[in-house]
Structure 1
Amino acid sequence: MKTILTILAITFLWGCNKSSKTNETTDPDWAQAVTAFKELQETLKKENGETWNHSLEGPLIFVNRDTRAIIANESDNSGELVKRENLFVGKLPENINIANTAFDWNGKKWTMVAFPLPDTKEKRLNLLIHESFHRIQPAIGFGSLAEIQSVHLDSKNGRVWLKLELEALKKALDSNEPEIHIKNALLFRQHRYQSFPDAKQAENSLEINEGLAEYTGSILSKRTDSDLKKHYISQIDWFYTLPAFVRSFPYFTIPVYGYFLQKTDKGWNLKITKDTNLTDFFTGFWNVDCQELTDDTILEIGKTYGIDSIIENETERENKKEELKNRYKKKFLSDSVVVIGLEALNLGFDPSNVMPLDSSGTVYPNLRVTDNWGILEVDSCGALIGPAWNKVIISYPELITDTLIYGKGWKLKLNQSWRLDLVDKKYMVTKE
C-alpha cells in the first residue's frame, strides 16, 4: 500500500458546532499570487541553488480551499491549465487533497500551497521555500523517507524533556555565549532518548524530512539576523500552545540548530544525507559527550530553564489528555462505528493535533482521505486510523443519501460500486 502523508489545514462545511459557509470564493486571489510569485522568483534567482547545490525554482500551484481554483506559474503537461497573462489557471481535481505539500500531477512534480498566503513577505518566503524544498527532495538525495511517529512526545516526560531542550535553545538565541545553552539542549535530548529508547530514530525520521525543509525556508526568508532569532523564539512559544507535539516538533528544533551551525559552517546541510542521524551530527559538532544522565543531574540543569513550571504545566495537561483519550476510546472502540478499509490511501491532516491512542492507532481530529472507495472528510470530531494503516474508523452515520453519507463531524462520498453495509452492529464500506 502506498501511503502519502501531507499536511492539511482543513476547512469544513459541517460538523461539531460548526456554522456553514455560504459564500464561495470566486476571485482566486490573483493579487496575492502575482506578488508571491515575484518575491519567490527574485529570492531564488539570487540564491542560485547554493543552499542545496540545486535550484529550488520549479512548478508551483496556489489553490483556493473553497473553490479548488488554481493559479500556477507554469502549464501542466496535459493542457488542463489555461494561460492568463503570464500565469496559468484551472481547477484542482476533487480526488487530490489540498495541502501545503509537494505532489505529482499531470506529468510534473509540483509545489502546492493553499490560500490565503501569509501576510508578510518573510512569512510567505518561509512557507514557499519550505514547500519547494519538499519538491526537490528526491533530486538531492532525500526521497522515499519513512516517517516514524514520535508517540513518546504525547507523554508527560517526553514533553517535559522536549520543552527543556527548546527552552535551552531559546536561551542560546538570546545569549552572547550561546554554546553552553546549545550543549544543555543536547543533554536534555540525550536524556529524552535514555527514557525512550526508540525516540532517537523516530524523531530523526521527522527532523530529516520536515526539519531540514523548515531550516531552508527560514534561513532564506529574507529576515535580518535579529529578526530571525526573534522569529525562532516566538515560534517556540507558539509551539507550546499546540495540543500535540508528536509530528510538529521538527519545525522548531532543526531550524535553530541549523541557524547556529551555519554561523560556523555555511554548508553544514550539504554534509547531511537521508541516513544521517542529526543528533549524532550535532553532538559531534559541539563536542557533547554521550553520557548516562541521572534525573538529579537533569533536574539541576533544568532549574536554569524553568523546569518546575514546565512539570506543573505538563502534569495538568496529562490529566486532561487522559480524559480525552478515554472519550476517544469509548467513541472509536465500540461497536457503534463505521469501519472503512484502506487500500490506496492518500491522507491530508493537521500535524499539530494528532493523538496516539495506545496500541489502537492514532486519532486525527481533522483529516481528508481519498482512496479507491471515494473521499472521506472529517472535522474536529475526529477519526481513528489503525496502527497498520489498514483502516479508518468514524462514528455512526446520521444521514444517508444517494450520493453522500453524513455523520457527526464527517462526510463520506463513495464512488460507484461501493456501498455502506451494516455488519454485526458496525457499518462497513464494501465493494459491490
Structure 2
Amino acid sequence: MMFVEPSTRRLMTNQADAQGLLKPEHGVFTGRLPDDVPFANSSVTWAGVHWVQLNWPAPDDGGQRRAVMAHESFHRIQDDLGLAPAPEGSNAHLDTMQGRYLMQLEWRALSAALAATDDKLRRQHAEDALVFRAVRYQHFAGAAQSERALERNEGLAEYTGIAVGATTPAERLSLTQNDLVSHVSAPSFVRSFAYATGPAYGLLLDRYAPAWRKAIRAHEVGLSELLVGALGFKAGAVTDAQAEQRAAAYDGAALLAAEQSREQQHQQQVAKYKAALVDGALLVLPLNKPQVMFNPSTLVPLGDAGTVYPTMRVLSDWGSIEVREGALLSADWKHLTVAAPGKNAAKQGTIEGAGWTLHLAEGWQLDQGARPGDMTLNLIHQGAH
C-alpha cells in the first residue's frame, strides 16, 4: 500500500519496492512518485509491485479511512477474484432530468429501507427502489447494462470498503447511509451513482440473499437483479403511474421541481461545452493506451461527441496534459479534444491553452488538424498519429 501527497508526489509505503527505489524511514518506505506514473485513489503497478494507491492525508474519520483503504484494496485484487471490470457505458441518461429524478428517488427509498426496523416496511421501501429503477430502464435503452457494469466495479468496491472497513454493524449502516446522502450534491451522477447504490444493495442482499457474493462472481448479474430475485419482485409489471404514486412517499414533487430548475442551468453548461469543444477550433490529441486521472463526480456527457471531463490529467505516448477547464474524451477513448491554442503557441515542449497545459514528449509537435483552425499532434518527421 502506498500513500501519495499530491502536491509533492512524495510517497510512503508499507513495504519495499522490487527495484530498490524507496528508502526505509521510521518503519515505512519513502520516495517520490515519478511524474509519468498516474496517481489516484486506485491501484497501480510501479517499481515491480502492484500497489493500492491512496491520497495523503487520509480521511480524518476512522470509518471513512478504513473504508477507502478496503475499497481500493478490492480494486487491486478484483481481477484475481474473477470480477474484472466490464467496459463501461457513458450512463448519459443519468445527466437528464428524468434519469436524475428517478435515481434520487431510488436513493431515498434505499435509505428508508436500510433505516426501517420492521421487515414489512423494509421490504416495501426496497421494492420502491426497484420500482424507480425499473421505470428508468424502461425509459432509457441500454441503461440496465451500463449501470450494471459500473455497479459491478465501483459499487462492489464501495460495498467491500464498507463491509470490511466498518468495525460494527452500526458503523456499516452509517457509512452506507452517508454514501446515499453525500452523492446527491455531486454535479454529475453518470460515474458516481454506484458509490451510493453499491453498498445499499449489498447490505440488503446480506439480509435477503446471504450467498449473493458467490452468485455475482459466477454470473454477469447486477446487484439490483439479485435483490429482485430475492424479494420475488416483478420488475416487468412496473408502470410510470406506479412510480409516480410511490414518489409521493419520498417528497417527489419537491425533488422534481429542483431537477427542473437544475436542468435549465445544465443546458446552458452543455451549450457552452459544445461551442468550445465541438464547434470551435480544436486541438485533437490521439490516445494510445492512455492513463487517465479525473473526478468521477463532475462528468458531462455530450451524446455521440463523447464526455466532458471538467478537470483531468492524461498520460499518453506524446506526454501529458493537465486540464482545468474542460476536455472532451471520445466514447472509444481514442481521442481527447481541448480548445485549440492561439496562433502563436509553441509547437513543441510545454504548451499553454485556454484551461490546459500540455507537456509534449521529445519527438512530438503540434501540426495543422483536419479543419481550418484545428490542430493535432504528430511525431516529428514521421507524420504518424
**Aligned residue number for residue 181 of structure 1:** 125
* Alignment pair present for 1:209 and 2:153: yes
Distance 1:168 1:192, change over 3 A: same
**Aligned residue number for residue 291 of structure 1:** 236
**Aligned residue number for residue 328 of structure 1:** 273
TM-score by length of 1: 0.82
Single out whichever of 277-286 and 420-429 deviates more from structure 2: 420-429
Map of 1:10-89 to 2, 5 A cutoff? Answer: 60-89=1-30
In 1, Cα distance between equivalents of 2:97 and 2:248: 18
Residues 111 and 177 in structure 2, CA contact (< 8 A), matched pair in contact too: yes
**Aligned residue number for residue 359 of structure 2:** 413
**Aligned residue number for residue 46 of structure 1:** none
Map of 1:122-137 to 2, 5 A cutoff? Answer: 122-137=63-78
Deviation at 1:264, TM superposition (A): 4.9
Distance 1:268 1:294, change over 3 A: closer
Map of 1:6-405 to 2, 5 A cutoff? Answer: 60-143=1-84, 145-177=86-118, 178-273=122-217, 275-379=220-324, 381-397=325-341, 400=346, 403-405=349-351
Single out whichever of 221-230 and 211-220 deviates more from structure 2: 221-230
Deviation at 1:223, TM superposition (A): 4.7
Residues 194 and 292 in structure 1, CA contact (< 8 A), matched pair in contact too: no
1:118-175 Cα deviation digits (max 9, x unpaired): 0021111000000000001011111253222211111111111111111111111221
Q: Percent identity?
A: 33
SS at 2:314 equivalent: strand
Residue identity opposite 1:322 in structure 2: Q
In 2, Cα distance between equivalents of 1:231 and 1:251: 11
Deviation at 1:305, TM superposition (A): 1.0
What root-mean-square deviation, in Å, do the aligned CA atoms of Structure 1 and Structure 2 show? 1.7
Distance 1:402 1:189, change over 3 A: closer
Unaligned runs of 5+ in 1: 1-59
Residues 63 and 70 in structure 1, CA contact (< 8 A), matched pair in contact too: yes
Deviation at 1:225, TM superposition (A): 2.8
**Aligned residue number for residue 9 of structure 1:** none
In 2, Cα distance between equivalents of 1:170 and 1:93: 42
1:76-110 Cα deviation digits (max 9, x unpaired): 11111122233211111111121000122222211
In 2, Cα distance between equivalents of 1:262 and 1:400: 58
In 1, Cα distance between equivalents of 2:332 and 2:169: 44
**Structure showing the higher helix proportion among its residues:** 2
Residues 299 and 308 in structure 2, CA contact (< 8 A), matched pair in contact too: yes
TM-score by length of 2: 0.92
In 1, Cα distance between equivalents of 2:105 and 2:294: 28
In 2, Cα distance between equivalents of 1:242 and 1:311: 17
